[in-house]
Every structure is written in C-alpha cells, then in structure tokens.
C-alpha cells in the first residue's frame, strides 16, 4: 500500500465509526481526536480495525504515533508497504 | 402506602408518559390499534446456529434521540431504551424545566443482559482463531448490568440514579414498582421506569427454550404465540421496550400533566421451589397481596392482563390462580397481549400494561388472539378472545408478570380520579 491508499483506509475506518465525520476541513497535521470528536474508545476501534484487516499489532506505547492523519500514515507506511 | 384510602397527593403516584417499541408498533396509539384489531406483530428471525424461528422484532426511528455512532457503540437494549425514554418524556411533556435531572431516576427491568454481546464476541474471535486480542474493548461497558439505563442518562443528561432491576420476566413490573418506591421515599421527583428486551439477538436463549421444549413453532409466525389454546407449544421470543414517566400526583397536577392512571397497589413474591416451573398458589398469594395493598376486592378489578406465555403448564398454573382469586367476579375481564407480540421478556410486563392503559378511556378490552381451541384448563369466565369487547367501564387493571426462579409480580393501576 502506498501513502495515499493508507490514508484512504484510515478515513474509511473513521467513517465507519462515525458516518457523520466531516473530513473536508481536516488538517492532516493536527490531532484527529481534536477535529473529529473521536474519544479513546473510538481510537481503540481504529487500532482494532487495523489488527483485523492487516494483523497489525500496535503496541500501547506507540499509540501516540497515531495522533494525526500524517503521523498515522508515517507510522503505517513501512508496516503496510508490502501489502 | 400505609393509608391508601385517604392518601395525600404527595403519596399518590401517577403514570404521565408512555414510550414504547413493540413488535409491529412504535407508539402507544399504533400498539393499541393492533391489539384492538387482533393484529399480530410477530414475524421471523434467522439466527446464527438456530435457523428461522418466529420472533417479535421492532422497527422504530433509532436515530430520533441519538446518533447512529452511539447506537453502534451501545447495545440494542440501550438503543430501544433511549427511544422509549425519549418518547415517554416527549409524551409527558417533560423538558426538565420543571424537574431537576439530578432528581430524576431511571429504573430499567431486564430479564438478562450481556448474553447477546457475549455471544457476538465469542463468534467474532472465532473468526480469528479464538485469539482474545480481537475481543472488543466495548465488551465491558456494553455488558455491565446498568448498561441500558446508563445509555439513557447519557442521551438525556439525567444525573440522578440509574440502575437495572433483574427479575427475569417479572422485571418490567419490578422496575415500575422500584420507581414507585423511590418516588414515595422522596429519593427522586421523576422516575423513568419500565423494561427492555434484546433477547431475540441471542441464539442461546432460543436454544435453551427449545431444549426445554418451550420454544413455539408454527408455519405461520403470526399464529405461533397462542396462550390458552390447546395447540400451544411454547414461547415466541420478542424484543421491545416500554418506559413510563411516573410522578407524584401533586407535582403532576402542578404542571397540568396528562394522567394515564394511578398506581393502586403492587406485590412481588417468590415461589422458593423450582428453577423454571411456575407455581399457581404463590401467584395467587401475590395477586391477593397486591389487592390488599390497593385496598381493593377482586371484583374491583376490571381487566386482568395475564402473564401466560403459551407454555402448557405455565398457562394452566396462572389460570388456576386467577380462577381461585376471582371466582364470582362477573365484571372482571381477562386478556393476554403475548398472543399479539410474543414474549418481550423484561419488557413484557410494562408493554402489556401500556397496551391496556387506553382502556380507561375507550372502555375496550383487547382480545387474546390465536385461540382456535380453548384449553378447558384455561377456560376463565371473563376471557376476552378473538375480538375486542366493549365494557361499561374500566376502573382498574391488574397486570401479572412472572419469571424464572419463581419470581411473581403483580401491579394494579386504577383509573385516575381527582
């Protein structure tokens, strides 16, 4: 998967959590939780969905890597590159 | 409720709002119309491991009071509960300008909770080789027993007490009784209470009734729930909910509330005998205790809404108990609502009570349906079946709800007289 594909997957996962999520004004460098009303349980939903889709285990101490859309892509790119 | 003959208005509890979701109806008016017309709300469900079975399913506006994402995060019982609570508050005209949310209590009757969610998660991790890393973090908040009541607090900002009452299929009545008691104790000023059921989502509940020989089967699902009929062969499981707003009369009058009826009396007792088999003599004691507390005689009851679920022994036990308690009462009518909607478990008692409340104004006793060949053991003198019956006046409704482990509950609601 390339960066754009990873980005699309993340937005798809978030849209599945909240179909009313509005991405039009999303700043990819600002925390997702501040912009999309995602709480800690929603965040765990994202982690779970990555695990289900890609057998990807995100260790708890690496959760901060998933703070913004760009940091998510940066973190996931090497892990999903070969998929 | 020590001096029921001349209680003060602060000691009188009235029903001022009804919100419900029943198989085939999402408002009291629609539910009442179905009951009077003898129209079944039962359909079928195709359930994991179980195949197709008759079941009562509800259709209502699931996003009227909260967003889809909250329904996804929560439980079906919570979703039904939020809808019913919202409808009850709307019906009662309560917007929390009169009542304080901190002085509002939520008491929800449940037959069981967490079964559906647990089964779903076990199935889910089965797709991943039973690796518990795939077990959802939503499991605990979904399955704690206060879940459906708690979901209601979050939607409406109600900050008073909330909890669930577990009383098997007597739970709806038991929660209503809890609400009455909390109002009388002065713990709250407004009680949202009733019962909820999401049991149709559990294959285990269907399978357990089938193993017990108590799961209804019929080619036509609308004919499967048939209490008192010789051909009855068990229970039709239903989902649903009903929440009432209860208030003390002085405050209900102060805000010009519409009043559906007044709580007359109630009783809960225990068979102390068997895990599943009902016991008529104790049911009779329960009805008699409720009558005594209401300061009423058996002949004061206009409608007995039976618990009968369509099992061989259960229906007979209750009919024995009613026959003995109400012998000679020639103005007491008997009906059954499960024949229309199936058994809504924790919601059953309150849904069935709600469906009969309009009788205070329309003077109609809704019929028991699917009665083709009356079991002689269930041939009660005042049994209304097949078509609704108009009666001169309805003064009091006695609502029976019984459950496993031998829990019996009886609630009497009387016509409101200022």
Here the CATH number for the domain that contains residue B279 is: 3.40.47.10
Please say whether the dihedral angle defined by the alpha carbons of residues B376, B382, B388 and B389, taken in this order, is positive or negative.
positive
Query: What pLDDT sits at residue A23?
Result: 94
**d(C-alpha B340, C-alpha B19), whole Å:** 18
Average pLDDT, rounded, for chain A: 95
Identify whether residues B227 and B271 lie together within a single domain. Answer: no
Identify whether residues B190 and B329 lie together within a single domain. Answer: no
Residue B144 · residue B210 · CB < 8 Å: no
Q: Is residue B57 part of a domain?
A: yes
Identify whether residues B226 and B271 lie together within a single domain. Answer: no
ipTM for the assembly: 0.93
Contacts of A52 in chain B (CB under 8 A): 128, 134
Identify whether residues B100 and B198 lie together within a single domain. Answer: yes
Residues in chain B with pLDDT values less than 50: 1, 3
Residue B261 · residue B360 · CB < 8 Å: yes
Residue B398 is encoded by which pair of tokens? 């006695």
Final residue belonging to a domain, choices B254, B284, B299: B254
Identify whether residues B62 and B177 lie together within a single domain. Answer: yes
Q: Which of A17, A44, A52 sits opposite B137 (nearest CB)?
A: A44
Specify the number of domains making up chain B: 2
C-beta atoms of A19 and B69 within 8 A: yes
Q: Which residue of B has its CA nearest to A40?
A: B137
Q: Which residue of B has its CA nearest to A57?
A: B133
Strand pairing category for B261-270 and B407-414: antiparallel
Q: Is residue B260 part of a domain?
A: no
Q: Is residue B8 part of a domain?
A: no
C-beta atoms of B69 and A48 within 8 A: no
Give Cβ neighbours of residue B60 (< 8 Å, ≥ 6 apart).
B21, B26, B80, B83
Helix (H) or strand (E) holding B364: strand B364-365
Strand pairing category for B303-305 and B261-270: unpaired
* Residue B153 distance to chain A (closest CA, Å): 19
C-beta atoms of A48 and B136 within 8 A: yes
Q: Which residue of B has its CA nearest to A44?
A: B137
Final residue belonging to a domain, choices B205, B233, B254: B254
Task: Provide the residue ranges of all domains of chain A, joining segments of one domain with +.
Answer: 3-80
Domain limits for position B228: 14-254
Contacts of B133 in chain A (CB under 8 A): 51, 57
* Residue A48 distance to chain B (closest CA, Å): 7
Contacts of B141 in chain A (CB under 8 A): 41
Query: What pLDDT sits at residue B5?
Result: 59
Residue A26 is encoded by which pair of tokens? 């999303």
C-beta atoms of B133 and A51 within 8 A: yes
CA nearest neighbour of B198 among B83, B29, B311: B83
Identify whether residues B213 and B305 lie together within a single domain. Answer: no
DSSP reduced 3-state for B109: strand
Identify whether residues B199 and B315 lie together within a single domain. Answer: no
Q: Which residues of A touch B (CB under 8 A)?
A: 17-20, 41, 44-45, 48, 51-52, 57
Identify whether residues B131 and B158 lie together within a single domain. Answer: yes
Q: Is residue B6 part of a domain?
A: no
Angle among Cα B257, B259, B260 to the nearest 5 degrees reads: 145
Q: Which residue of B has its CA nearest to A51?
A: B134
* Residue A21 distance to chain B (closest CA, Å): 10
C-beta atoms of A17 and B136 within 8 A: no
Contacts of B72 in chain A (CB under 8 A): 17
Q: Is residue B151 part of a domain?
A: yes
Identify whether residues B220 and B162 lie together within a single domain. Answer: yes
Final residue belonging to a domain, choices B225, B254, B283: B254
CATH architecture of A3-80: Orthogonal Bundle (1.10)
CA nearest neighbour of B245 among B355, B87, B409: B87
Catalytic residues of B: 169, 307, 343
Q: Is residue B2 part of a domain?
A: no
CA nearest neighbour of B121 among B103, B109, B133: B133
A31-65 pLDDT per residue, tens:
999 999 899 999 999 999 999 999 999 999 999 99
Average pLDDT, rounded, for chain B: 97
Query: What pLDDT sits at residue B418?
Result: 87
Contacts of A19 in chain B (CB under 8 A): 68-69
* Residue B67 distance to chain A (closest CA, Å): 9
Identify whether residues B399 and B277 lie together within a single domain. Answer: yes
Supply the DSSP symbol for B16: E
Query: What pLDDT sits at residue B166?
Result: 98
**DSSP string across B145-195:** TTHHHHHHHHHHT--S-EEEEE-GGGHHHHHHHHHHHHHHHTS-SEEEEEE
Q: Is residue B1 part of a domain?
A: no
Identify whether residues B245 and B272 lie together within a single domain. Answer: no
């Amino acid at each position: 998967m390339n960066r754009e594909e990873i980005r699309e997957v993340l937005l798809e996962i978030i849209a599945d959590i909240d179909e009313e999520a509005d991405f039009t004004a999303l700043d990819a460098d600002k925390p997702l939780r501040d912009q999309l009303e995602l709480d800690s349980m929603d965040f765990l939903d994202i982690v779970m969905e990555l695990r289900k889709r890609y057998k990807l285990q995100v260790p708890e101490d690496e959760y901060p890597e998933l703070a913004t859309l760009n940091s998510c892509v940066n973190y996931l790119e090497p892990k999903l590159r070969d998929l | 409720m020590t001096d029921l003959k001349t209680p003060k208005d602060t000691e009188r509890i009235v029903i001022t709002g009804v919100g419900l979701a029943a198989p085939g109806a999402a408002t009291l008016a629609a539910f009442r119309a179905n009951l009077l017309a003898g129209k079944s709300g039962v359909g079928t469900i195709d359930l994991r491991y179980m195949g197709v079975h008759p079941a009562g399913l509800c259709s209502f506006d699931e996003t009227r009071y909260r967003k889809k994402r909250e329904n996804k995060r929560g439980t079906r019982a919570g979703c039904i509960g939020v809808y019913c609570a919202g409808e009850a508050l709307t019906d009662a005209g309560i917007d929390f300008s009169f009542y304080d949310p901190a002085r509002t209590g939520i008491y929800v009757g449940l037959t069981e909770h967490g079964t559906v969610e647990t089964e779903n998660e076990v199935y889910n991790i089965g797709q991943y080789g039973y690796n518990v890393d795939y077990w959802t973090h939503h499991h605990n908040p979904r399955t704690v027993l206060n879940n459906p009541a708690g979901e209601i607090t979050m939607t409406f900002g109600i900050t008073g007490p909330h909890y669930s009452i577990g009383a098997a299929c007597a739970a709806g009545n038991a929660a209503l009784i809890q609400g009455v008691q909390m109002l009388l104790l002065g713990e709250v000023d407004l009680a949202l209470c009733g019962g909820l059921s999401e049991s149709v989502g559990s294959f285990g509940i269907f399978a357990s009734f089938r193993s017990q020989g108590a799961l209804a089967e019929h080619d036509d699902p609308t004919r499967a729930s048939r209490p008192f009929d010789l051909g009855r062969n068990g229970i039709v499981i239903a989902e649903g909910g009903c929440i009432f707003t209860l208030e003390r009369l002085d405050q209900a009058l102060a805000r010009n509330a519409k009043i559906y009826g007044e709580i007359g009396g109630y009783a809960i007792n225990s068979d102390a005998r068997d895990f599943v088999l009902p016991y008529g003599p104790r049911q009779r004691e329960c009805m008699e205790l409720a009558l005594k507390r209401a300061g009423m005689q058996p002949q004061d009851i206009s409608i007995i809404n039976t618990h009968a679920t369509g099992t061989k022994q259960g229906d007979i036990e209750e009919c024995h108990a009613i026959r003995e308690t109400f012998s000679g009462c020639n103005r007491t009518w008997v009906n059954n609502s499960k024949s229309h909607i199936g058994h809504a478990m924790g919601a059953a008692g309150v849904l069935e009570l709600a469906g009969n409340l309009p009788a205070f104004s329309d003077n109609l006793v809704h019929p028991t349906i699917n009665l083709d060949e009356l079991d002689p053991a269930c041939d009660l003198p005042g049994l209304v079946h097949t078509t609704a019956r108009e009666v001169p006046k309805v003064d009091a409704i006695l609502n029976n709800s019984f459950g496993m482990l031998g829990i019996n509950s009886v609630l009497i609601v009387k016509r409101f007289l200022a």
